[in-house]
Structure 1
Amino acid sequence: MYLLKELIQIVEVPPQAFSPQIHDYIFEKLKREMSTSLSARYGFIVAIQKVLSISEGIIRAGTGVAVFTVKFNAIIFHPFVGEVVDGTVDRVTKLGLYVSVGPCIVFIGKGLFPPDFTFQPDEYPQCYTHEDGSKLQSGSLVRLRIFNTTHLHGEIHCTGTMKEPYLGLLQDEGRLVETDEIETSF
């Protein structure tokens, strides 16, 4: 899920930034541009750890802008298909749950969590309740398995399931739930 990855990026430096501290300027510009960005190939770049190397700059004719190739280590969030993760329920709808797992949203359709939960549209906030009294609601901590990922509009979207052993509700209104408390039927 979280990886340390070596990446390469082109950084442009305007002439007014040329100074003995140009490497500091490049590092700060790299952090501004790349931190919290989404790479379709690697995932969500959480942070730039350190710069490994900076090439000699090449000045573009007519503009005076110097172009540098920067090699750096970045901490990347990349959800993998089949990975089991913990997340917090953000939203509950009659179609299912939206769960935050790091910087991505995982949708779990109502057919993909234990059938013992029933939707309660009249309760505020809306939730799914179990016959033992536990609730799947906003703020609940859950464990799920990711089975699909997509990158759309600068965000990572995933689809998950809680319909497997040892997955499901972990925390209900501050109370930890034992995984064997909620029986799952398949």
Structure 2
Amino acid sequence: MFILTKIADLVQISPNDFSKRSTVAIEDNINAKYSNKVIQKIGLCICLYDLLWTSEGLIGHGDGFVNVNVEFRLIVFHPFKGEVMFARISSCSPNGIHLRTDFFDDILVPFDELPDEAE
């Protein structure tokens, strides 16, 4: 259900963040960019787990941002097909069943994705 995913990206640190330690500024920017976002075929990004590698920062021309190439791991919510999850049914519509868990409030399971024995 929860996995670690390795990602490489370019992080831009704004001049407002120059007062922070570089690792803290990088971590804050990664969390702002990825936390609570869904990446297709990866899952819902929860938060940064750790930094694996960072390059030296290069100052961009004209904007003052420092560009840093980074490799990092994210904690991602990615249930696999057939995984059993405990949830409460919050409602039902022609589109499917709406479920609620401790972690999510609105999960839609389309009727065609339900197992055959659920009818």
Asked if Structure 1 and Structure 2 have the same fold, meaning a TM-score greater than 0.5 normalized by the shorter chain, the answer is yes
Deviations 1:127-170 (A, max 9, x none): xxxxxxxxxxxxxxxxxxxxxxxxxxxxxxxx631543xxx6xx
Cα-Cα RMSD: 2.6
- Report if the CA contact (8 A) 1:35-1:45 is conserved: yes
Task: Flag the 1:161–1:74 CA change in 2: closer, same or farther, 3 A.
Answer: same
Unaligned residue ranges in structure 2 (runs of 5+) = none
Residue 34, structure 1, aligned to residue 34, structure 2: yes
- Report if the CA contact (8 A) 1:106-1:160 is conserved: no
Residue 12, structure 1, aligned to residue 33, structure 2: no
Cross-structure match for 1:107: 109
Cross-structure match for 2:79: 79
- Report if the CA contact (8 A) 2:96-2:108 is conserved: no
TM-score (norm 1): 0.53
Unaligned residue ranges in structure 1 (runs of 5+) = 110-158, 169-185
1:20 CA displacement: 6.3
Task: Flag the 1:41–1:162 CA change in 2: closer, same or farther, 3 A.
Answer: closer
Cross-structure match for 2:92: 92
Question: Which is higher, the Rg of structure 1 or of structure 2?
Answer: 1
Q: What is the CA–CA distance in structure 2 between the aligned matches of 1:88 and 1:61, rounded to whole Å?
A: 53
- Specify which of 100, 103, 114 is matched with residue 161 of structure 1: 114
Corresponding letter in the other structure for 2:108: V
Cross-structure match for 2:57: 57
TM-score (norm 2): 0.77
Residue 44, structure 1, aligned to residue 58, structure 2: no
Moved >6 Å (runs of 4+): none
Q: What is the CA–CA distance in structure 2 between the aligned matches of 1:20 and 1:39, rounded to whole Å?
A: 28
Corresponding letter in the other structure for 2:2: Y
Residue 3, structure 1, aligned to residue 3, structure 2: yes
1:93 CA displacement: 3.1
Determine helix, strand or coil for the equivalent of 1:32: helix
1:78 CA displacement: 1.5
Corresponding letter in the other structure for 2:31: K
Task: Flag the 1:41–1:67 CA change in 2: closer, same or farther, 3 A.
Answer: farther
Task: Flag the 1:7–1:96 CA change in 2: closer, same or farther, 3 A.
Answer: closer
Q: Percent identity?
A: 25
Q: What is the CA–CA distance in structure 1 between the aligned matches of 2:73 and 2:8, rounded to whole Å?
A: 9
1:35 CA displacement: 1.1
Q: What is the CA–CA distance in structure 1 between the aligned matches of 2:110 and 2:63, rounded to whole Å?
A: 51
Q: What is the CA–CA distance in structure 1 between the aligned matches of 2:113 and 2:88, rounded to whole Å?
A: 13
Count of aligned residue pairs for this structure pair: 117
- Report if the CA contact (8 A) 1:100-1:106 is conserved: no
Higher helix share: 2
Corresponding letter in the other structure for 2:84: V
